[in-house]
């Protein structure tokens, strides 16, 4: 009974692996295979968002790989294929989007925030250094000292 239960559990666990997409494309030469691999690693899966289409098993990633293979067969160069994908899915499909007016915030935003934070810290520190401490603000006047002495003497007597 235990063996049967273990076999069923193992079979269910491996059933997802059996459905994983395995692309079998035949290329004319190794250079074309390398181009295919490079292109599929440069493009982000629109569904997974954190995987390139080479590693994704999503149906859309399979379609994109098939489309890249088709375009390679038509003799298109890498830039034409990337331009097609960007036109179809937007700049998001690229892991390294080009520097344009639309993507400038993505490229320079973190540095601008860091620089702004450093400037803010510098202003705060500079103001604290320039603000003069009131002369003698931590010393007591003669009347305050006498009152303190009398209060301390009362506590010693008790």
| Residue 52: strand pairing partners | 44
The predicted structure's pLDDT at residue 18: 44
The confidence score (pLDDT) of residue 124 equals 94
Spatial contact of 57 and 20, defined as CB atoms under 8 Å apart: yes
Q: Mean pLDDT across the stretch 18-27?
A: 63
**Predicted model pTM:** 0.55
How far is residue 45's CA from residue 35's CA, in Å, rounded to a whole number? 18
User: What's the Cα-to-Cα distance from 16 to each of 11, 35, 57, 91, 157, rounded to whole Å?
Assistant: 9, 29, 11, 32, 86
Give residue for tokens 């103001």: 127
Reported confidence tier of residue 29, pLDDT bands at 50, 70, 90: confident
**Cβ atoms within 10 Å of 9's Cβ, excluding its own:** 10
- For the segment 62-81, the average pLDDT, to the nearest whole number, is 92
């Amino acid at each position: 009974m235990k063996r049967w239960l273990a076999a069923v559990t193992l079979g269910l666990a491996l059933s997802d692996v059996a459905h994983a997409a395995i692309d079998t494309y035949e290329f004319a030469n190794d250079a074309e295979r390398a181009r295919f691999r490079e292109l599929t690693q440069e493009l982000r899966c629109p569904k997974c968002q954190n995987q390139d289409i080479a590693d994704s098993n999503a149906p859309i990633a399979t379609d994109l790989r098939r489309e890249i293979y088709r375009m390679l067969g038509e003799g298109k160069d890498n830039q034409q294929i990337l331009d097609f994908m960007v036109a179809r899915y937007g700049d998001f499909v690229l892991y390294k989007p080009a520097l344009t007016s639309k993507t400038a915030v993505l490229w320079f935003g973190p540095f601008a925030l860091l620089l702004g934070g450093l400037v803010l810290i510098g202003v705060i520190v500079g103001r604290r250094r320039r603000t003069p401490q009131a002369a003698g603000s931590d010393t007591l006047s003669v009347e305050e000292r006498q009152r303190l002495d009398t209060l301390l003497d009362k506590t010693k007597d008790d």
